Copies of this chain bind each other. A is one copy, B any other.
Amino acid sequence: MTRGRAAGPPLTISDIHAVVGIRLARHDYRYTHSRRRLVDVIAAAGQPVTLPDIVEAAPELAQSSVYRNLDVLERSGVVDRIASSGDHAHFEFAEPLLSHHHHLICMDCGAIEDVQLDDDVEELVDRSLAEVASRAGFTPRRHSLDLHGSCADCD
């Protein structure tokens, strides 16, 4: 399993638009104004965002179109949906737009923060998971490793 984008200088917003454009085209989707705007908002946030976050940052975007375009972006491999129990789902760029990372999920306020682990930990986890997966006849696609607890604000 790959480690996503190698650590290095963060992608510029132009880089991001370029990659997104390619991925959308590959799936026969157009890179429209609304979709660019949506990508801008996600990039500006720098952390996983919810739908309310997005429409607050860009009120000119219709809620239904945002949901539809998040779906398009997800199908195109541009964003990942992070399922949170209960309220709104969170969305963030998928690898390799974002390097491989994990989440600190606050059980009180629902905030989600990105964190990275050492490569040797990731490798060990991947090997371990690959082993149990093959034992179960399961084809691994990606793993998620989240820490649930209380964030600095809620503690």
Contacts and interface: CB of A to CB of B under 8 A. Distances in A.
A104 B136 contact: yes
B141 A148 contact: yes
Contacts of A58: none
Contacts of A129: 102, 117, 145, 147
Interface of A: 81, 83-86, 89, 102, 104, 106-107, 113, 115-118, 121, 124-125, 128-129, 132-133, 136-152, 155
Given A81-B85, A124-B121, A148 B143 contact: yes
Identical chains in the assembly: 2
A87 to B, nearest CB: 10
Q: Is the interface of A mostly helix, strand, loop or mixed?
A: mixed
Given A143-B145, A143-B146, A128 B137 contact: no
Contact of A125 (B86, B125, B148): B125
